[in-house]
Amino acid sequence: MTRKRTVRRIVKETYCCLAPSSIHGIGVFAIRDIPKRTDPFEIDLRHPRGWVKITEKELNGAPAGVRTLLSLLFVPESDGKLYVPEIGTNLVEIGTYLNHSDTPNMRTKDGHTFIAKRKIREGEELTVDYATYGASGLLLNADRGTSHHGQKPVRELPRVKKGRKLGQLMRPS
């Protein structure tokens, strides 16, 4: 792929960034308008996109920090196993940080592909209904301050103060 084509692809595919969320911890925010029926996380690049299953026994044998991170980022499937990208957690898909809403602006059937239910405006947080893909256990545990595996988060991230603009959050301090 040529440099110019790579730049065009990056510009075309970039819709979101991570920032502190007033809903919970970190959230995904639109950095430009996202049209209805768009998958803002789609990447037109050939790279390994496989998943590896991690059993509860393997998870419990991992160091505490790794166990906590995996438990916070990934939802167990109906077989009780976590499915983690083969590339590991150093390149986690941004959609992992979608927060829950009872009135979401994103939809999913499988917890892997997310589509905008409506036009999402620049600066708006992207949300999904966790119950639509078996992640409703996260909601029950959020009230107790734990992940879906019962571990306490390493630390709680600061919440965004009302009235702050997304650009202010992205500037280096």
| Domains located in the chain, CATH noted | 3-152 (2.170.270.10)
For residue 156, the 8-state DSSP code is P
Beta carbons within 8 Å of 167's beta carbon, 6+ residues apart? none
Q: For 85-126, what is each residue's pLDDT tens digit?
A: 777 777 777 888 899 999 999 999 888 889 999 999 999 999
Q: Are 96 and 74 in contact (CB under 8 A)?
A: yes
pLDDT reading at 70 higher than 70: yes
pLDDT reading at 34 higher than 90: yes
pTM for the whole structure? 0.67
Mean pLDDT lowest for which of 73-77, 81-85, 137-141?
137-141
User: CA 152, CA 43: separation in Å to the nearest integer?
Assistant: 33
Q: What is the token pair recorded at 75?
A: 């939802």
Q: Is 83 helix (H, G, I), strand (E, B) or coil?
A: strand
pLDDT at 47: 58
pLDDT reading at 165 higher than 60: no
CA angle, 165 then 170 then 173, to 5°: 105
Q: What is the token pair recorded at 66?
A: 């790794």
